[in-house]
């Protein structure tokens, strides 16, 4: 698969408006540009988010790199919504090129927008403590990882991913992109398990030699053996930021795959299931335990079946 060929279909302006169209259709939202909003740089686009004629909140998209700017991609809550008192405001701060984008960037844009739309839709809580993305830490990535699925779906991509001549991205090319993405996922899953085990065990019990413990855990979880003389944990930055909870990356993915099992992959723009997801999960913010949000949406407790199916699939589906 040729990344240059793929890039021809992802012009930034079309991707941005496509993302707004797709999420607008899914969640019944309208994004109204606010040209005179107070913004911190001329690159920043502000929109009011409306549903059924009422303003739900405001979003700011600051999507291109510039000197001195944050170098990663993230969503930042600016104002927490409180019912009857204040509307939520949030910003996406990312570093995407102004012209053609890598598909990986498109996936990142959908991911981060998943956090932003969660922040806005959950803006009608009684207290800021439960407003927006204030769920448990091991759930907060699930809505954003879920929205990534839309960036891998040929029917969805066809709605906005067109080349300079206006031709939509071929389904066969999306199938190849998916197959390439799926390559090595078993290895990646095992490596994530290894990292999660290191993060957990080194905080749970630090007795003895750390390198010996890491060697044991690598032999148990990872595909590749421990490399003599290495001390991986000494530069594993997540040990201080995520502490014992590195597992949340993979656990959120387990939940995201479970949530995705309720959607029809052949009709990802169907409004009924998306509306139910909006109301039972996103709009609730942190006001309920995440396990209850998932049960309310799926009609059953969470499980790992969707994750297992994904792990075992060959990735050759065309949708």
> Closest distance between Zn ion and the C-beta of residue 115, in Å?
6
What are the C-alpha distances in Å from 180 to residues 11, 145, 173, 260? 21, 18, 11, 21
Closest chain position to Zn ion (CB): 144
Q: Which is nearer to Zn ion, 63 or 154 (CB)?
A: 63
> Closest distance between Zn ion and the C-beta of residue 145, in Å?
7
Looking at 101-109, 137-145, 285-293, 304-312, which segment touches Zn ion (CB under 5 A)? 137-145
Among 144, 162, 199, 287, binds Zn ion (CB under 5 A): 144
> Closest distance between Zn ion and the C-beta of residue 75, in Å?
7
The Cβ of residue 54 has, within 10 Å, a number of other Cβ atoms equal to 8
> Closest distance between Zn ion and the C-beta of residue 293, in Å?
17
Is-contact 113 147, C-beta < 8 A?
yes
Q: Which is nearer to Zn ion, 9 or 150 (CB)?
A: 150
Count, residues near Zn ion per rule CB under 5 A:
2
DSSP 227: P
Q: Half-sphere exposure of 78 toward its Cβ, with a 13 Å CA cutoff?
A: 16
Q: Which is nearer to Zn ion, 141 or 222 (CB)?
A: 141
Pairing state between β 89-93 and 54-62: parallel
Is-contact 115 143, C-beta < 8 A?
yes
What dihedral angle (degrees, nearest 10) is formed by the CA atoms of 171, 118, 61, 73? -80
Is-contact 96 106, C-beta < 8 A?
no
- Please give the positions annotated as active site: 112
Q: Which is nearer to Zn ion, 144 or 199 (CB)?
A: 144
Work out whether 108 is an interface residue with Zn ion (CB under 5 A): no
Where on the chain is the footprint of Zn ion (CB under 5 A)?
Answer: 141, 144
């Amino acid at each position: 698969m040729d990344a240059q060929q793929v890039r021809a279909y992802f012009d930034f302006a079309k991707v941005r408006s496509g993302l707004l169209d797709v999420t607008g259709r899914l969640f019944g939202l309208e994004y109204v540009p606010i040209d005179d909003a107070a913004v911190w740089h001329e690159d920043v686009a502000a929109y009011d988010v409306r549903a059924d004629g009422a303003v739900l909140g405001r979003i700011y998209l600051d999507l291109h790199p510039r000197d001195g700017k944050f170098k990663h991609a993230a969503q930042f809550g600016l104002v927490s919504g409180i019912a009857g008192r204040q509307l939520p405001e949030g910003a996406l701060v990312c570093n995407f090129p102004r012209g053609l984008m890598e598909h990986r960037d498109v996936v990142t844009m959908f991911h981060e927008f998943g956090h932003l739309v969660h922040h806005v839709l959950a803006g009608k809580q009684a207290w800021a403590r439960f407003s927006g993305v204030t769920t448990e830490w091991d759930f907060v990535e699930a809505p954003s990882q879920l929205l990534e699925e839309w960036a891998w779906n040929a029917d969805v991509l066809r709605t906005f991913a067109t080349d300079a001549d206006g031709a939509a991205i071929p389904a066969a090319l999306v199938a190849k992109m998916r197959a390439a993405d799926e390559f090595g996922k078993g290895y990646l899953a095992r490596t994530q398990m290894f990292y999660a085990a290191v993060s957990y065990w080194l905080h749970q019990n630090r007795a003895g030699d750390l390198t010996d413990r890491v060697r044991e855990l690598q032999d148990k979880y990872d595909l590749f053996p421990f490399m003599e003389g290495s001390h991986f944990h000494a530069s594993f930055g997540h040990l201080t930021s995520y502490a014992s909870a590195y597992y949340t990356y993979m656990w959120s993915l387990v939940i995201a795959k479970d949530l995705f099992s309720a959607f029809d992959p052949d009709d990802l723009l169907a409004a009924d299931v998306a509306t139910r997801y909006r109301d039972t999960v996103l709009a609730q913010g942190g006001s309920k335990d995440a396990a209850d949000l998932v049960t309310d949406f799926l009609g059953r407790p969470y499980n790992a079946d969707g994750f297992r199916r994904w792990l075992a699939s060959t990735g050759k589906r065309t949708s």
